[in-house]
Amino acid sequence: MIKAGIIGATGYAGQELIRLLYNHTKVEIIHLSSRSYAGKKLSEVYPNFTGILDIELAGMDAQQMADDCDVVFFALPHGLTAGQISEELLEKTKIIDIGADFRLKDKDVYESWYKVKHSAPQFLKEAVYGLCELNREQIKNARIVANPGCYTTCSITSLAPLVANKIIDNSTIIIDAKSGVSGAGRSLSLPALFPESNESFKAYGIGNHRHTPEIEQELSSISGKDIVLSFTPHLVPMNRGILTTAYASLAKDINSKELTSLYSEYYKDEKFIRIYQDGSLPETRFVRNSNFVDIGIKTDPRTKRVIAVAAIDNLVKGAAGQAVQNMNLMFGIQEDSGLNTVPTII
């Protein structure tokens, strides 16, 4: 059994991770920590765990977790994980950071976009970007994995085949993204309050959203050339789910059917990526509570553009599910273990 601990267990991503790990046949949850709820039982914070997992939440002690656990998940806001990572810690346990501290390889880029000093830049080169479908072999041997952001997972997977096959003019990429309110986290936030978000639809973070350099970094790696793109997120009054619609000008003469075949070939061995056929397009409800990425691709002959539409559950494939997928790879067990969940459409 893999002994697991979670630091930051009571955020939305943390509790989703607990739910997935509890049902994982090869994992035992040893420690759960929470700064806000230390001393309380998990079931007092999330009553859905009543009679199922009444474990007491501890304070944030990474060293104790490292002593007792094979893997420690950090589900903390940016800037809080890096300061706890050390060589001593990594010699004892594997680390999966669901936050943003190790996603960007360039310390200066991280500090510019996140407005905090990076506390452990010596591990940036070693950390593996945990988008399993693209970095599977590196993840298998990693000591520290940087779990991708939710918007980025959806954006990168939907554009990777186009970039890899030089189908588009990379300088023309525009990503129009929408997220449910749970993407803002569980802490009190005025924009996420019900009266502020219900019956409304708004853009935010225009030109400065922190997932932008992450998307650019990974697509540039696939391309072999630097990519600069436009990314605009929107808040939608639903609990969970992300839908991205990406646009780019075609660099080759190709139609929708040919593109769909190209995507199907590119992801032919990927259980969690589903390519829609015959012009169908994904919806967030088709992936709810699952680890799937659903992608639909079409061309617009009139404007000579390609439109890629993708959907994920931001708390599963966009956070906890992807973390479990990474853990499975790191410990050499079947990659879909604990993740064989049929989406709940209603």
Compute the distance between CA of residue 323 and CA of residue 132 in angstroms, rounded to an integer.
Answer: 9
Q: What is the pLDDT of residues 214-225, one digit of tens each?
A: 999 999 999 999
3-state secondary structure of 286: helix
Look at residue 330 in the predicted model and tell me its pLDDT.
98
Classify domain 151-314 by CATH architecture.
2-Layer Sandwich (3.30)
Q: What percent of the chain has pLDDT over 70?
A: 96
pLDDT band at 168 (very low <50, low <70, confident <90, very high): very high
**pLDDT of 131 above 80:** yes
Cβ atoms 322, 272 nearer than 8 A: no
Mean per-residue pLDDT of the chain: 94
> For 148, phi and psi rounded to 5 degrees?
-65, 160
154 is catalytic: no
Cβ atoms 110, 118 nearer than 8 A: yes
- Ranges for all domains in the chain classified under CATH 3.40.50.720: 2-126
Q: What is the pLDDT of residues 242-292, one digit of tens each?
A: 999 999 999 999 999 999 999 999 999 999 999 999 889 999 999 999 999
- Tokens representing 216 are 């650019």
Look at residue 198 in the predicted model and tell me its pLDDT.
75
Which of the following is catalytic: 69, 132, 150, 154? 150
Give the residues across from 31 on adjacent strands: 5
- Ranges for all domains in the chain classified under CATH 3.30.360.10: 151-314
Classify 2-126 by CATH class: alpha beta
Q: What is the pLDDT of residues 34-72, one digit of tens each?
A: 988 999 999 999 999 999 998 999 987 898 899 999 999
Q: To which residue do tokens 């009553």 refer? A: 47
Q: In the Cβ-directed half-sphere of 232, how many Cα atoms lie within 13 Å?
A: 9
Beta strands in the chain (DSSP E): 2-7, 27-33, 71-74, 94-97, 128-129, 144-146, 174-179, 202-203, 230-235, 242-249, 273-275, 293-300, 305-312
Look at residue 185 in the predicted model and tell me its pLDDT.
61
